[in-house]
Amino acid sequence: MLRLSKLTDYATVLLAYMAKTNSHLHTAVELSEATTIHVPTVSKVLKVLSKAGLVYATRGSKGGYQLAQGPEQITVASIIGALEGPVAITECSSQTHDCEQASACEIKGNWGVVNRAIINVLESITLADMMVSQQQYSSEEIQVSWQGLSR
């Protein structure tokens, strides 16, 4: 299925909301109400995003979170990286890892190539791109839409 974790999805929704309304600091409670994600989960996600440097956190009363960079600077790859670590579609796709099958393997190194191709896609899409309104679409229209996003 090649699925992202729910937390990564939550993170993207939360960041998009913050990007849209960046006039003030956002508390975890406010973000929860805006997105319908439960408070403990919002809190968990934002702690991770803060540690990764994607949001800036202020403690105490009048505190809250704000984006640390503009929506054009935050890539989908960086959001995934913050929540799940670097993209690695198989154990074998990072350069440093030695795979079990070692010398016998017919496809050695090729997962790395596929992985890099996917990372390139994910690095080319920013939070700003994720906020453009999408209509109902057919497969072909997605293709067109994507052409517009890619650089």
User: Which residues here bind DNA, judged by CB under 7 A?
Assistant: 1, 3, 5-7, 10, 26-29, 38, 40-41, 43-44, 46-47, 50-51, 57-65, 84
For residues 45 and 76, which CB has a smaller minimum distance to a second copy in the complex? 76
Nearest residue to the partner ligand FES, using Cβ: 99
Is residue 63 within 8 A of residue 78, CB to CB? The reply is no
**3-class secondary structure, 66:** strand
Q: Tell me the C-alpha to C-alpha distance, in Å, between residue 49 and each of 30, 90, 105.
A: 17, 24, 38
**Of ligand FES, a second copy, DNA, none, which one does residue 52 interact with (CB within 5 to 8 Å by kind)?**
none
Out of 9, 30, 84, 123, name the contact with ligand FES by CB under 6 A. Answer: 9
Site for ligand FES in 10-29 (CB under 6 A): 13
Of 34-93, binders to ligand FES (CB under 6 A) are 92
Q: Can you tell me the distance from the alpha carbon of 67 to that of 22, in angstroms, rounded to the nearest whole number?
A: 8
Judge whether 24 and 58 are in contact, CB under 8 Å.
no
